[in-house]
């Protein structure tokens, strides 16, 4: 099995694929509204700190688990722990979590497809500003269109995964990531030029430290985990495709820095437009789908051609971001089914499509016909997001760093991090990284968990 397992084609391919998993909806959809809900610039500074000091060591731990085991994320823990019952059971979480997230991520991806189609038809340019801002609520609460768009988006995503690691995932990442960066920079350039956008820029650059609370720290670290796909099994799976010759410190740092850069760019692309539209920055998950159409409609009264082009580019960027995120989530389950159930890649993709498609329909309908069906006061969509973000991701990330820091022998971790002692810089840095993985990261994850529930 090991010698037949696919690998990424080189360091650039590794960084692009892992960055593709990290850079996506967590940055362009989730990051701006989290900034708006939790203190603006103060949140951003804590987020940067959390990514470099805590999330990066967790990322390295997950890559090491994947590369050392050279297998799917579930079997990785079993193989490296020599079939220990606890770790065999814990490995199943790495299959459950990304599958659950893919169910509602594909719904958001479907929203982006609908908005892209509308922008191509110049719908937002022709709407009145208030009508454009209110379009989101009417759309998501309808029955059939959001469901159809969700299934369409998921189907295209699964088709990319069906192409395999090199022909599907790697090829898509090499094209999509550069395109995504270009698109977001173009949108940022336009956004900061809008009347009133200066307030949005100041909101991101001038921290109000009185806004900092323990919960701000917890949510910033949680967003960092979410954005880097930590605790989802995706990085463990992608790590298993990394060659033993690659410097995982270089590839992991490159991924984390790329993710940080894109998150900041997305913030400066979205928040100035939000302030220009006069919309509350803490408007929640629908922030970009409510604020951006308003801006395009407003702009369309004076510059209809420019407004149309920018609208098309913006929602194309969201589609690409959504797809780069969900591809890695689907790949986790596909890898498991291929290696454990003996399925062909095509059949495994079909199984994931049916599972994620079915539960995704329930998530989509929870904004409309099933809006009154609630568990603990939450709709199906909110329940999936809350359980994954506040419980499962943190639990899996904690298990990963405990496994590398306390279960794997130190010599094994050293061997993976230094490529058998052949990387002098990694050799010098190893004691620091090992300390962060063994002590700092687990304590930080536990703090995040209890802060979410106790404050």
Higher model confidence: residue 51 or residue 10? 51
- How many other CB atoms sit within 10 Å of the CB of residue 128? 12
CB neighbours (10 Å) of residue 108?
A: 26
| Beta-carbon count within 10 A of 73 CB | 33
CATH of the domain at 278: 1.10.4160.10
Closest among 318, 304, 331 to 158, alpha carbons compared: 331
Q: How confident is the model at residue 427 (pLDDT cuts 50, 70, 90)?
A: very high
Residues 66-85: what's their mean pLDDT? 93
Least confident among 217-221, 317-321, 399-403: 317-321
Q: What is the b/e burial string over 14-23, where b = at least 16 CB atoms within 10 angstroms of the residue's CB?
A: bbbbbbbbbb
Instruction: Report pLDDT for 2.
Output: 41
Task: Report the distance separating Cα 222 and Cα 50, nearest Å.
Answer: 9
436 pLDDT band (50/70/90 cuts)? very high
Tell me the torsion sign for CA atoms 246, 3, 400, 101.
Answer: positive
- For range 228-241, the mean pLDDT: 89
Tens digits of per-residue pLDDT, 102-153? Answer: 999 999 999 999 999 998 988 877 777 667 667 888 999 999 999 999 999 9
Maximum pairwise Cα distance, the chain: 67
Q: Under a CB-based contact definition with an 8 Å cutoff, are residues 337 and 109 in contact?
A: no
| Average pLDDT value for residue range 293-313 | 76
CA dist 57 and 151 (Å) reads 36
Q: Is 384 helix (H, G, I), strand (E, B) or coil?
A: helix
Residues of the chain above pLDDT 90, percent: 52
Q: 23-27, 30-34, 158-162: which range is least confident on average?
A: 23-27
Mean pLDDT of 369-390: 92
Please write the tens of the pLDDT for every residue from 92-113.
999 999 999 999 999 999 999 9
Q: Give residue 364's domain range.
A: 2-454
66 neighbors 51 (Cβ within 8 angstroms): no
d(CA 116, CA 314): 8
How does pLDDT run across 26-65, given as a tens digit for each residue? Answer: 888 889 988 998 889 999 999 999 999 999 999 999 999 9
The DSSP output letter for 209 is G
Q: How far apart are CA 325 and CA 283, in angstroms?
A: 23
> Quick one: pLDDT at residue 3?
47
Give me the number of domains the chain comprises. Answer: 1
Predicted confidence (pLDDT) at residue 1 exceeds the cutoff of 60: no
At 301 the three-state DSSP class reads: coil
Q: For the chain, what percentages of helix, strand and coil (3-state, to nearest 5) are there?
A: 80, 0, 20
Q: Could you give the C-alpha distances from 447 to 39, 74, 233, 443, 455, in angstroms and in order?
A: 20, 26, 22, 6, 11
Instruction: Give pLDDT, residue 13.
Output: 67
Strand, coil or helix: 191: helix
Task: Output the CA torsion sign for 60, 65, 67, 68.
Answer: positive
For residue 273, the model assigns a pLDDT of 83
């Amino acid at each position: 099995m090991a010698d037949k397992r696919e690998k990424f084609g080189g360091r650039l391919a590794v960084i692009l694929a892992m960055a593709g998993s990290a850079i996506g909806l967590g940055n362009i959809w989730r990051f701006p509204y989290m900034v708006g809900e939790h203190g603006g610039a103060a949140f951003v500074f804590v987020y940067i700190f959390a990514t470099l000091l805590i999330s990066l060591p967790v990322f390295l731990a997950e890559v090491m688990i994947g590369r050392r085991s050279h297998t799917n994320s579930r079997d990785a823990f079993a193989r490296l722990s020599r079939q220990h019952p606890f770790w065999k059971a814990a490995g199943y979480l790495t299959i459950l979590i990304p599958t659950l997230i893919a169910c509602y991520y594909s719904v958001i991806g479907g929203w982006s497809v609908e908005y892209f189609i509308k922008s191509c038809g110049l719908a937002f340019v022709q709407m009145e500003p208030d009508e454009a801002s209110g379009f989101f609520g009417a759309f998501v609460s309808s029955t059939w269109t959001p469901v159809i768009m969700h299934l369409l988006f998921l189907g295209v995503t699964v088709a990319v995964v069906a192409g395999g690691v090199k022909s599907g995932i790697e090829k898509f990442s090499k094209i999509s990531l550069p395109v995504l960066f270009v698109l977001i920079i173009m949108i940022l350039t336009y956004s900061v030029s809008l009347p009133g956008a200066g307030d949005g820029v100041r909101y991101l650059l001038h921290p109000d430290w009185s806004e900092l609370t323990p919960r701000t720290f917890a949510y910033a670290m949680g967003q960092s985990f979410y954005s880097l796909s930590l605790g989802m099994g995706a990085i463990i799976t992608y790590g298993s495709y990394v060659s033993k010759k690659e410097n995982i410190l270089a590839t992991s740092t490159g991924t984390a820095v790329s993710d940080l850069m894109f998150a900041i760019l997305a913030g400066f692309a979205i928040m100035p437009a939000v302030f220009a539209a006069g919309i509350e920055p803490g408007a929640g998950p629908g922030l970009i789908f409510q604020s951006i159409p308003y801006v395009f409609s407003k702009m369309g009264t004076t510059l209809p051609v420019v407004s149309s082009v920018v609208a098309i580019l913006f929602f194309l960027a969201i589609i690409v971001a959504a797809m780069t995120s969900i591809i890695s989530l689907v790949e986790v389950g596909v890898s498991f089914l291929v290696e454990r159930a003996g399925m062909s890649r095509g059949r495994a993709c079909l199984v994931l499509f049916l599972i994620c498609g079915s539960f995704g329909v329930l998530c989509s309908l929870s904004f409309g016909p099933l809006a009154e069906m609630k568990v603990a006061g939450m709709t199906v969509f909110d329940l999936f997001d809350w359980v994954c973000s506040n419980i499962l991701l943190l639990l899996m990330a904690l298990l990963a760093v405990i496994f590398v820091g306390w279960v794997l022998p130190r010599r094994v971790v050293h061997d993976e991090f230094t490529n058998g002692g052949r990387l002098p810089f990694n050799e010098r840095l190893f004691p620091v990284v090992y300390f962060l993985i063994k002590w700092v990261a687990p304590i930080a994850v536990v703090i995040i968990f209890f802060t979410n529930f106790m404050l």
